Structure 1
Amino acid sequence: MDKHSISAEKGAYISIAAYIFLSALKLTFGYFGDSKGLWADGLNNTTDIIASVAVLIGLKISKRPPDDNHSYGHLRAETVASLVAAFIMITVGLQVIYSAIESFFSQNKEAVPDMFTAYVALFSAIFMYGVYRYNLALSKKTKSASIQAVAQDNRSDALVSIGAFIGIIGATIGISWLDAVAALVVGMMICKTAWDIFHAASLSLTDGFDEQHLQEIGQTILLTDGVKDMSEIKARMHGNEILVEATIHVNPLLTVIQSHDITVKVEENLLKEHGVKHVIVHIEPYVFQKKGTRH
């Protein structure tokens, strides 16, 4: 395993440790401090533990070499793990929303969150923002999409804790329903995060690819020396790797070796400009046409 893989796993381990610490802190003080918002925030962090563990497992499995049943390797293990985490998160998110609505309509007007729960929420926001900055820098260093997703989740959690802090403050100054509303918002943010993870994972697993990015890749191929035209280009995600297939047209008078050299240039340009490591280039003879062709 290379050092970048080890660094990416380190980021997942740090997130797991942070979420275990914060979830225990929030659930404890949320329960004894009568804060539905902080309690919901703690439940949110428990789902983050599961998501981070799923990313860690995916990172480990994805580094396995190709075998008889996986000719392309195991890179999609990260994507499958993200999908599993999304289903778990949406379940918890819906439960938090249900509890918040139930609390709103049956709340005890005299039950006011302890002011100390607000300090816990504020501390959690600052703490998680620090974890976010660390994992964001790590994702750029390792070029790991999964760690980048973890970093964005870290930032969302910091914002959720700020929301819980505002809700608790509101409840302590006499707006008794605000704490339940904060819990409702937290539940919706959990569901939103789960949907984003599900959407990205399902798009990848069904070989979907961003159209604008595909056009940028195609433009890089067309600008490669020796490429006269391009009639087809396809791309898909395989874990964090981009797989590209393209049909290019070259001078029909070139030798096989000269044509091959052009494909090598295409591969080098895609690696340099887009980080694409896996490219299949099919060569066709270029037929001159008066309109709609490149010279």
Structure 2
Amino acid sequence: MENKYDDIKLGEKGAWLSIVAYIILSALKLAIAHSTNSEALMADGLNNSTDIVASLAVLIGLKISRKPADNDHRYGHFRAETVAALIASFIMFAVGLQVLYQAIMKFRTPSLESPDSIAAWTAIFCAVVIYFVYLYNFRLAKKIKSNALMAAAQDNRSDAFVSVGAFIGIIGSQFGLPWLDPLTALLVGGIICKTAWGIFRDSSHALTDGFDDAELQEIQQTINEIPGVEAIIDIKARIHGNNKLVDVTIGVDYQLNVSESHEITENIERIIYEVHHISHVHIHIEPVEAPALPALASKIM
């Protein structure tokens, strides 16, 4: 468990990198967008401003997650980052809708002027910077196996693509297609809302103890193949922050003594960790006789 807390602390570096990068890039984009009248770059800058909030949510969540278990939180505080991500999704929704509204209003203006080309080069420069941030966070997330930081890394990559899209839209407007700039802003607004929906969906799914059934079936299959496990009577799992908690009731030969049964549970814990990287497995043992095994197998299926 100590290593888990150390990994969370290491993940905070990635969150800080994202925050600093987004503050600088959003300020640059918004300033240039205002001076060049670029709706696409303005939308991109607002997108990055929401990413500051999202990265702050990840950072705060990681910090709270490092708090040890106490009398009110026997399982620790790992779900704090999930709650923070849920709050960030609401903020991202609001900004995404604002970007969509401003882009639509831009289409309704009598004339559409092409923004200055400096807006385009600002967008492509920022795309390169944030892509390098993505590479750093992606490698760090894989190293420490952090789902929250991996989500932040994927957000970094999508932001790089959004900036590339803004670049294309602005350049297109330079060639007599000024409507391409607000059109790109519409696409950026849609991407913001789509990202917010993905974060909301995953966070709410985790907070309501949802778990991927296909993964649960794989865990069940692994346990079934462990020597000494005669049947799986019940199995369930849930997400707790970056941790996966598995509860399983297994049937073992009723003639086994306590020491032999305990050895089976230790093998299950070890193999589940090695195969699925899950360190929290709660195992309950039920003694069963041979005639009862077919009925138990049909029940779990």
TM-score (norm 2): 0.94
Q: Which runs of 5+ in 1 are unaligned?
A: none
Q: Which residue of 2 aligns with 1:156?
A: 158
Residue 71 of structure 1 deviates from its aligned partner by 0.9
Structure 1 CA distance for aligned equivalents of residues 82 and 9 of structure 2: 19
Which residue of structure 1 lines up, in the alignment, with residue 104 of structure 2? 101
Match of 1:82 in 2: 85
Conservation of the 8 A alpha-carbon contact between 2:100 and 2:186: yes
Task: Name the counterpart of 2:266.
Answer: 264
C-alpha displacement of 1:219: 1.0
Correspondences of 1:203-242 after superposition (within 5 Å):
203-242=205-244
Q: 2:16 matched to 1:13?
A: yes
1:140, 1:228 → 2: CA distance? 36
The answer for the alignment partner of 1:92 in structure 2 is 95
Identity of aligned residues (%): 53
| From 245, 248, 252, the counterpart of 1:246 | 248
**Cα separation, 1, equivalents of 2:296 and 2:146:** 39
Aligned-pair CA distance for 1:108: 2.6
Aligned to 2:46: 43
The CA deviation at 1:6 is 2.6
Q: Cα distance 1:279–1:291, how it changes in 2: closer, same or farther (>3 A)?
A: closer
For 1:136, give the aligned amino acid: F
TM-score by length of 1: 0.96
Aligned-pair CA distance for 1:220: 1.2
**Is the CA contact (8 Å cut-off) linking 2:99 and 2:189 kept in structure 1?**
yes
CA distance in structure 2 between the aligned counterparts of 1:89 and 1:217, rounded to whole angstroms:
35
Count of aligned positions: 293
Deviation at 1:228, TM superposition (A): 1.2
Q: Deviations over 1:45-88 (max 9, x none)?
A: 00000000010000000110111111111000010000000000
Deviation per CA, 1:67-114: give whole Å up to 9, x if none.
1111111000010000000000000000000000010111533x2110
Superposition deviation, residue 287 in structure 1: 2.9
- Alignment RMSD (CA, Å): 1.4
- Partner deviation per Cα, 1:11-59 (whole Å, 9 max, x = no partner): 0000001100110110011110111000100000000000000100000
Whether contact under 8 Å (2:232, 2:296) holds in the other structure is no
